Amino acid sequence: MAAGWQNIANTHYGQSTSLDLARHQTSALAGTKRQGDGTVRIDSARQPLVPVFHGTISGDQPVSAHSREYYKTRLKASRIHAANDSNDNKQSLGRPPVSLPPHIPSTPGPTQNPLLTLRHPRYGLPIKLVDNFEACGVRSIYPWQSSCLLGRGLLTGEQNLVYTAPTGGGKSLVADVLLLKKIIENPGKKAILVLPYVALVQEKLKWLRSLVDGVTKNTEESPHLVHHPTWQQSSNLIRVVGYFGGSKSTVNWADCDVAVCTIEKANSLVNNSIEEGKDGEIGVLVLDELHMLNDEHRGYIMELVATKLLSIGSNVQIIGMSATLPNPELLADWLRAKFYIAKYRPIPIEEHLVYENGIYSTSNADDFCRTASQLTTRGLTPTPRPQPSRTIESSVHKQLESPVLNAVVALAVETASSGHGALVFCSSRAGVERMAILISDAMPTTNIAADIWDKRQDVLASLRALPAGFEATFSQTILHGVGFHHAGLTVEERAMVAEAYDTGILKVMVATCSLAAGINLPARRVILSGARMGRDLVGPAMLRQMRGRAGRKGKDEVGETYLCCLKSELEDVAELLQAEIPPVVSCLIPEKRGISRALLEIIGIRMVSSREALDQHVHSSLLWHTTAHDVVNKMVDASIEELISQRLIQRTEFENCLEPTKLGTAVVASGLTPEDGVFVHSELTRALQSLVMDGDLHIFYLFTPVQTTGLSDISWLTFRNQLEALDESGLRALGLVGIKPAFVNRLVNSGAELKEGTAEEIRVARVYRRAYAAFQLRDLCNEATIHDVSLKYSVPRGQVQNLSQTCHGFAAGMIKFCERMQWGMLGAVLEHMLDRLRAGARADLLEMAQVAFVKSRMARIFWENGFKSVRALSEADPQSLVPVMMQAQVRKLRLQGAAAEKLNAKLVVKAGIIVQSASRLWERQQMVQWEEE
């Protein structure tokens, strides 16, 4: 933990009272600068009005005073005190909660049990790998981890494993050890680690790369290298590569040792390996978040990956893990594995219900439900009403009239004032930002450590330096120690804010529930602002994920969760807490249409051809273990007939033999479902007949993903405006795909929405959504910024960025589709446009866009300022590039003082990277030219 963070904890712990906090505060503003006398002044007229009054920064000289108008523009968090305290003896805001236990027993270590260190010879790990584990903070392991690892056949890779442990209990370490040991001792083998979200893939990539730094494989003992002479010439180090949507890895699968993948990418890798006869190279498969099998949209793909490897009978060690796995025995039976259940949490969690400004301690779910039930039956039964352990004073501020808002702000501020981290979950993106502003306005601003203050300014400067722009609300929250996280932000924004929170620069993180599953950010205190995410109650599994984020190993002695409820949802919350997590079952059922894709894939990659072999494969699926066998057989029969009717597979002249059609192999190669593949085929067939080549809109439409469920709602007025602005080429292109201006105009005038009741209506809706997204994609490739596209189409910037990234993978799939269909000319045209898609620029800037940070509008600005080649950038002085880069900023910031200096410093560093990248690229171009001469 950063020293500054510890400084805050030491300063606040049990000293400042709420009265002191009201008297001694300073605002933390963007664009402020510490003067020679230690004061802070406002430098930028652009900053939001949060006046400054008496206070200190790290005990320095007093901050300059401001007018009494301060009290009209800042909030004051309500005090929290023990329920039995008198008014003269109320607990101060700065003190730790009264619920903290005086002592927590420590976890046993290697001195008590020698097996609790990875250096023990029983684990057989290389010294360098153990050194790396310790350098990353893993100096000992938990007893359950040791017991699990030492299970018969696991360390030797002969036995599969399914295990479950609470969030924060150290699940990943077991899989890391088994995976890396397998790769080190079997250099000819590869590992595939499957994670559900891109953010988790990126996080895991960094972790594994730090673990394998300098670790070598035992090549001298491997017989595999005899058959692969090219491998003998390559490095003996372990290569960890990420495969996810939008990634551009320069390492081929053949040269990869560990592939960290999203579910879809893992399925593609397994398909390619089986199709090329190299499935024997896969030595270990790790399925993280195994409960994702229940996800109706993507879970069945995870099942496909495991089922293929199980049915092949190859020597693959399969490891599955999850924190929310109610039926591990069934999954272990399916995966032919041992199962292990751990209930150990290194940090105990205390549960609380917050209702009408009362905080009720609950030891378990039954206790919680009993308390909730008693609170909702006032006077109706003789049961005494439970008494809160602590109470929150009502707020005098209108913004905090709601007991829930008042409680969330008070609890978050109390946590931060005690020097700990708080994670607040809200139901929507808009709610997240509103909550972050409220908490920021109530945060105490006294005694901010100088290094923390500077680091927060650095974070804000880094956000401002992003070429895609930044969320303006950050200017109101970051310097107060509050961040927020939701899908509407860009990847870069989310990563910067998450890192700042994780390192203690920010004290409070406000997020939607997607953060609970998408990234690992624990906190001392988790606060839920209601139990709804969107309009619906969260499920029991998601609720457990969110509450499980409480407790930081090595930073906190205890974790706390606070579920703040309104009266209207209290009974629903009680039922939710009593609800069992639904068992994990197969999603290869007819309603979810996964069975058709499963059969098409195994036939398409020629894994099976006879009906007998197909049946044996189905017997290896989770579906066979969770559904009546006669029902499964009927499903298989119906799916085969459906695939034949769609002309994706066909019967051969031999009885009961099946083979893929050319269309079927194209669909499998491009990673599409049968339904999406048939749709794409019809679209591309129409394009073959009349591709509009005198414009680019038709190709951008073909590059737009067909999975329209994740695309934005259509603003029909914007759609009509775009149609009216098109030239004859653009109108012809959209006319060919089925867009009718009269239909759009009718929807604008009537205010109606697209109907999606019938199959034809669903097809039409998909065409219009793709066309609306194609407008955005066209603008991005014509050098419009993500910020501008977001404003133009009323789409969150994060969603625009996601569209841009997913289009890379989808476009590559379309090119594969054309290759398998032997549509060479169409494939060549699409491949040419793929370069523009990656660069986000017109054709004349494709070379320039290969330079780091030089994409889209930035490339055009450099061009217009005389830097028209890679060579020109490589010879530039980094300082001379800064004014040009300022022109590319989305927001025209008029900063002064420290804020301006921080931004300039960030741009200078980025300019240096640009020059270095351009220099390397120019050197490679020169070498190629010399070799050709």
Q: What is the CATH number of the domain that holds 833?
A: 1.10.3380
Q: Give strand pairing partners of 337.
A: 160
Residue 828 covered by a domain = yes
pLDDT the model gives residue 274: 92
Question: Both tokens of residue 368?
Answer: 């919680």
Choice between 598 and 752, residue whose per-residue pLDDT is larger:
598
Of 143-147, 478-482, 520-524, 760-764, which gets the smallest average pLDDT? Answer: 520-524
**How do 358-362 and 390-392 pair as beta strands?**
antiparallel
Q: Provide the pLDDT confidence category of residue 3 given band limits of 50, 70 and 90.
A: very low
Q: Which of residues 547, 578, 609 is at a domain's end?
A: 578
Of 57-61, 224-228, 750-754, which gets the smallest average pLDDT? Answer: 57-61
Judged by DSSP in three states, 483 sits in strand
pLDDT the model gives residue 40: 35
Q: Are residues 511 and 452 in the same domain?
A: yes
Examine the pLDDT at 398 and tell me if it is beyond 80. Answer: yes
Examine the pLDDT at 425 and tell me if it is beyond 80. Answer: yes
Q: Are residues 647 and 699 in the same domain?
A: no
Of 424-428, 614-618, 710-714, which gets the smallest average pLDDT? Answer: 710-714
**How do 508-511 and 482-485 pair as beta strands?**
parallel
Q: Are residues 650 and 699 in the same domain?
A: no
Q: Are residues 598 and 711 in the same domain?
A: no
pLDDT the model gives residue 860: 83
Residue 128 covered by a domain = no
**Torsion sign (Cα): 834, 838, 842, 844:** negative
Closest of 620, 813, 854 to residue 703, by C-alpha: 813
Alpha-carbon span 392 to 441, nearest angstrom: 18
pLDDT tens digits for 469-513?
788 899 999 999 999 998 888 888 998 999 999 899 999 999 988
Of 110-119, 275-284, 625-634, 901-910, which gets the smallest average pLDDT? Answer: 901-910
Choice between 124 and 932, residue whose per-residue pLDDT is larger:
124
- Give the Å distances, CA to CA, from 206 to 209, 211, 212, 772: 5, 9, 10, 36
Examine the pLDDT at 8 and tell me if it is beyond 60. Answer: no
CB 172 within 8 A of CB 265: no
Mean pLDDT of 146-173: 93
Examine the pLDDT at 50 and tell me if it is beyond 50. Answer: no
pLDDT the model gives residue 85: 60
Which residues, including other chains, have CB under 8 Å from residue 340's CB and lie 6 or more apart?
Answer: 144, 147, 148, 151, 161, 162, 163, 164, 328
Examine the pLDDT at 35 and tell me if it is beyond 90. Answer: no
Choice between 50 and 338, residue whose per-residue pLDDT is larger:
338
Q: Provide the pLDDT confidence category of residue 96 given band limits of 50, 70 and 90.
A: very low
Residue 499 covered by a domain = yes
Of 76-80, 162-166, 266-270, 336-340, which gets the smallest average pLDDT? Answer: 76-80
Angle at 762 between CA 761 and CA 763, to 5 degrees: 90
Query: Which residue type occupies 772?
Result: Y
Alpha-carbon span 555 to 5, nearest angstrom: 11
Examine the pLDDT at 221 and tell me if it is beyond 60. Answer: no
Mean pLDDT of 126-133: 96
Phi, psi of 164 (to 5 degrees): -140, 145
Choice between 315 and 30, residue whose per-residue pLDDT is larger:
315
Neighbour-count burial of 729, counting CB atoms closer than 10 A to its CB (0-12 exposed, 13-18 middle, 19+ buried): middle
Alpha-carbon span 50 to 73, nearest angstrom: 7
Highest mean pLDDT among 112-116, 179-183, 565-569: 179-183
Percent with pLDDT over 90 in the chain: 40
Q: Assign residue 634 the CATH number of its domain.
A: 1.10.10
pLDDT the model gives residue 47: 35
pLDDT the model gives residue 229: 45
Alpha-carbon span 917 to 853, nearest angstrom: 9
Q: Are residues 299 and 208 in the same domain?
A: yes
Q: Global pTM?
A: 0.82
Total number of domains constituting the chain:
5
Alpha-carbon span 779 to 840, nearest angstrom: 9
Mean pLDDT of 529-544: 78
pLDDT the model gives residue 176: 97
pLDDT the model gives residue 126: 95
Mean pLDDT of 418-428: 90
Taking the CA atoms of the chain, what radius of gyration do you get in angstroms? 30
Q: Give strand pairing partners of 650.
A: 659
The DSSP annotation for 657-718 comes to: BEEE-HHHHHHHHTT--HHHHHHHHHHHHHHHHS---SSSHHHHHHHS-S-GGGSPPP-HHH
Q: Are residues 162 and 179 in the same domain?
A: yes
Mean pLDDT of 128-145: 94
Which residues, including other chains, have CB under 8 Å from residue 783's CB and lie 6 or more apart?
Answer: 840, 841, 842, 845, 856, 857, 859, 860
Highest mean pLDDT among 484-488, 735-739, 779-783: 735-739
Residue 297 covered by a domain = yes
Residue 34 covered by a domain = yes
CB 157 within 8 A of CB 316: no
Q: Which of residues 286, 320, 341 is at a domain's end?
A: 341
pLDDT the model gives residue 552: 73
Q: Are residues 370 and 497 in the same domain?
A: yes
CB 720 within 8 A of CB 750: no
Q: Provide the pLDDT confidence category of residue 547 given band limits of 50, 70 and 90.
A: confident
pLDDT tens digits for 785-813?
888 898 899 888 888 888 887 888 888 88
What's the 3-state SS for 52-105? CCCCCCCCCCCCCCCCCCHHHHCCCCCCEEECCCCHHHCCCCCCCCCCCCCCCC
In 414-426, which positions are buried (b, 16+ CB within 10 angstroms) versus exposed (e)?
Answer: bbbbbbbbbbbbb
> What's the mean per-residue pLDDT of the chain?
81
pLDDT the model gives residue 6: 33
Question: Both tokens of residue 760?
Answer: 């034809």
Residue 286 covered by a domain = yes
Q: Are residues 566 and 623 in the same domain?
A: no
Mean pLDDT of 765-780: 92
CB 42 within 8 A of CB 31: yes
Residue 226 covered by a domain = yes
Q: Are residues 54 and 186 in the same domain?
A: no
pLDDT the model gives residue 194: 96
**How do 337-341 and 658-660 pair as beta strands?**
unpaired
Alpha-carbon span 392 to 377, nearest angstrom: 22
Residue 849 covered by a domain = no
Which residues, including other chains, have CB under 8 Å from residue 776's CB and lie 6 or more apart?
Answer: 789, 793, 795, 800, 803
Q: Assign residue 280 the CATH number of its domain.
A: 3.40.50.300
Examine the pLDDT at 389 and tell me if it is beyond 60. Answer: yes
Q: Are residues 177 and 321 in the same domain?
A: yes
Alpha-carbon span 746 to 749, nearest angstrom: 5
pLDDT tens digits for 373-388?
676 665 455 566 678 8
- The CA-to-CA distance between both ends of the chain, in Å, stands at 56
Highest mean pLDDT among 62-71, 224-233, 400-409, 802-811: 400-409
Q: Which of residues 299, 318, 341 is at a domain's end?
A: 341
Which residues, including other chains, have CB under 8 Å from residue 193's CB and lie 6 or more apart?
Answer: 175, 179, 204, 208, 258, 259, 260, 261, 286, 288
- What residues make up the domain containing 549? 3-98+348-578
Q: Are residues 357 and 492 in the same domain?
A: yes
Q: Are residues 264 and 358 in the same domain?
A: no
